[in-house]
Structure 1
Amino acid sequence: MGFTKDKAELDGINASDRDIRMESLVEDIVIVGAGISGLATSLGLHRLGVRSLVLESWNSLRVTGFALTTWTNAWKALDALGIGYILRQNHLQICGNVTTSLITGQQTSKTSFINTTGKHGGHEIRCVLRQVMLEALANELPSGTIRFSSKLVAIEESGFSKLVHLADGTVIKTKVLLGCDGVNSIVAKWLGFKRASSSGRSAIRGCATLTSRHDLEPKFMQFFGKGFRSAVIPCDDKTVYWAFTWTPAAQEKKIEDNPCKMKQYVLEKLENMPSHIRAFIEKTDLNHFISSPLRYRHPWELVMGNISKGNVCVTGDAFHPMTPDIGQGGCCALEDGVVLARCLAEAFSAKAGGDMEKKKDEEKEEYKRIEASLKKFAQERRWRSITLIFISYVVGFFQEGESKWVSFLRDKFLSAFLAGFLLKMSDFDCGNLSKYS
């Protein structure tokens, strides 16, 4: 038997209680985490007629961050899941990208997103409110799919199944365990992954909600300074999302728990930003400031590590945490959801039946199908994820360069090249949910 935590944590659950609970709580598929990847996977399975149970440790949908730039590849995934049209209604289509150096005051690159096409057709970019996206995914799921206040504490082997132990003493027996539990994933740890590495950088994010329409053009605006980067992008007619990333010195880390100091720090750093854009940061309520360290998984860990093992697998940030420099973390998680749902649905297409001996054989065969489907997912997603992690890190290195030569190269030669990765990395189609295509 294997545990993610010390067996002592399971004290208080006696054998008879455990047996009773296992009889009453048996699930084909358990998904840990009701974030983007967890809900997308569950909805994809639902569209293909396969039921799943989503465990969320919070007592409601957990919204970390305010919005995410949703690129072309993400819209293909959202359309495959059947909710793209819901999100388009209330979010502006972004028409282009503009980058500006706050050192020289000069515009360094400009890219149009309109009437531009890639290998997979035209581009579509919108900045989507994270809560709206999570609610859109959750609202399409059958009642009872999400089980709130359900914190995973341990994973135990049980024949061809896994026993999922929750903090409240509940034990769930499942044929498939999917870790969509974020950057601090317990499931990823069980698979042998190390804690995600620190990039040494941090992000302060905020969202200004206005009482009247803003006058911003629907553009993705990026600003670069010495050792920092900022982005401002409208979500809808009255909401503007912004982000500020930098490498904090030891004394600067103290501001990350103080919204007032965070606001003051960002405004000081962005003093050369055009005043009509900087005003949206000034108007952001202190309750709408958050700070977080930027972490990522080393690409070689995905080359050598177990993305899946038997009937256990990871997706989203549990699988491929990356820095936000090309805006692909949430988009890649949506891709994961579609691909994983498609792979798993094939494994559940055959049903067990017959006498007891035949059922045992069927159980073994089903386990083999599940194992193969998760390996197929890992094979399909491994190099896509490695590429995005690597490109994000490299782009962030140059965009946020602090030395004079890096800033010079970025502003004079590399700005348009780096901005080009935004479209290049989003020119991807994860496919649809047509059964087993």
Structure 2
Amino acid sequence: MPEAVVIGGGVGGLTAGVALRRRGWDVTVLERAGRLENVGSGFVIAANALRALDTLGLGDRVRELSRVQGEVGIRRPNGRWLVSTTEDRARERYGDSMVLLLRATLIGLLAEALGGERLRLGVEVTGVDPDTGTVRVSPARPEGAGAGELRADLVVAADGIHSATRRALFPDHPGPVYSGVTAWRGLAPRPDVMVSSTETWGRGLVFGTHLLAGDLVYFYATDLSPAGAVHADEREELLRRFAGWHEPIPALLDAVEPERILRNDVFSFATPLPAFHRGRVALLGDAAHPMTPNLGQGACQAVEDAVVLAHVVGEGQGLAAYTAARRDRTAAITGSAMSICRATQVRNPVVVGLRDAGMALASRLRSDLMLRSMDAVLGWRPPASAGNGRGPAGPA
């Protein structure tokens, strides 16, 4: 039985572990943290990622644990719609829509499907040899297991946006660059006002809301900011920035507990990697193609990566086929997300007015504009034989 080592126990790494197991691989997933990610935020799973999860037998379970969205779109700070569509229209066009669930829920579901005995927590990877598939490890904390080596036919590096494996494999690549915006994420109880799945665009500001199961609301916000800026009170920063915006934004910020607000600067690739593999190592998710969250596709693309990678090696193809299948697609989506990010950064009131008027006019002229613009992303289909359970051949 061929062996695979996956570096990183996030969404991409766990999905890769499950997908490879479905293909008959002996999988070990290494995670530096002492416990799996329990970030207090929501997770958007769009139609393309749902199809990928269907190949692993997990799509229906995700749908059961999620809340399906109703009307979605972009609004002005006064609440007027600029462009919108509905879940019914999306389902008619793509055969599925997007669902929302807690990030921790998806992590738990994937970990259960992987099997706890295949997951090693508190393990830090200190080096990878792409030629031999040797992975050097040490304990991430004093109580962790001892140092040592693992050897694998395939190493999957899903170690995040600042991937040490990527830097070692491609030392001349410039790496992620700061997008110019910082992002807040949080969870709040559902207020006594209508909550829909929307983004609201202002002058350099964005606020998004998604209703989750259990009457929780996942919200996020972005604003222009110097990288690394520190705020004493993130909730106060949000209240100051979004004062006077339409409901449910004020109600959510009044209700949220300050400790449930997370903030991170947003980074993205300006230059794609020359390849997503070297030797026996394949890069996946943010390690391969970090992108801004403006299309809601960061983790969705990691799920696609995992299913395609398992298919490629399961069919006995070399990792060059994985690069060929994923590099151009993810580069295009990364570029599109960054273009939207730049559009949200506009502060000049005249330019903002022109931007908003253009979106509203285009939407009136083409009522399906919002959906049509996502065809290339949401219309993706997994490889025909993905998840068919046939035994693997090792990577070439």
What TM-score does the superposition give when structure 1 sets the normalisation length? 0.79
Is 1:54 paired with 2:29? yes
Secondary structure at the counterpart of residue 140 of structure 1: helix
Secondary structure at the counterpart of residue 166 of structure 2: helix
Which of 166, 187, 205 aligns to 1:188? It is 166
Conserved 8 A contact 2:24-2:389: no
Which of 103, 119, 139 aligns to 1:130? It is 103
Alignment match, 1:337: 306
Alignment match, 1:253: 229
Q: Which amino acid letter does the alignment assign opposite residue 142 of structure 1? A: G
Shift of 1:99: 1.9
Secondary structure at the counterpart of residue 37 of structure 2: coil
1:99-178 equivalence runs, <5 A: 99-102=74-77, 106-116=80-90, 121-156=94-129, 160-167=132-139, 168-178=146-156
Shift of 1:134: 0.6
Is 1:280 paired with 2:252? yes
1:357-372 equivalence runs, <5 A: 372=317
Q: Which amino acid letter does the alignment assign opposite residue 283 of structure 1? A: A
Shift of 1:276: 3.8
For these two proteins, the number of residue pairs brought into alignment is: 374
Identity of aligned residues (%): 22
Alignment match, 1:269: 241
Q: Mind listing any 5+ residue stretches in structure 1 that lack a counterpart?
A: 1-25, 348-371
- Distance in 1 (CA, whole Å) between partners of 2:56 and 2:36 is 19
- Distance in 2 (CA, whole Å) between partners of 1:214 and 1:428 is 38
- Distance in 1 (CA, whole Å) between partners of 2:387 and 2:275 is 25
Task: Write out per-residue CA displacement over residues 100-138 of structure 1, whole angstroms, 9 at most, x where no aligned residue.
Answer: 212x6532222123134577x323111121000011011
Which of 319, 338, 352 aligns to 1:393? It is 338
Alignment match, 1:433: 387
Secondary structure at the counterpart of residue 325 of structure 1: helix
- Distance in 1 (CA, whole Å) between partners of 2:287 and 2:157 is 7
Conserved 8 A contact 1:182-1:317: yes
Shift of 1:310: 1.3
Select the structure that is richer in helix.
1
Alignment match, 2:142: none
- Distance in 2 (CA, whole Å) between partners of 1:422 and 1:285 is 34
Conserved 8 A contact 1:183-1:317: yes
Is 1:223 paired with 2:200? yes
- Distance in 2 (CA, whole Å) between partners of 1:388 and 1:322 is 8
Secondary structure at the counterpart of residue 229 of structure 1: strand
Is 1:301 paired with 2:272? yes
Shift of 1:397: 1.0
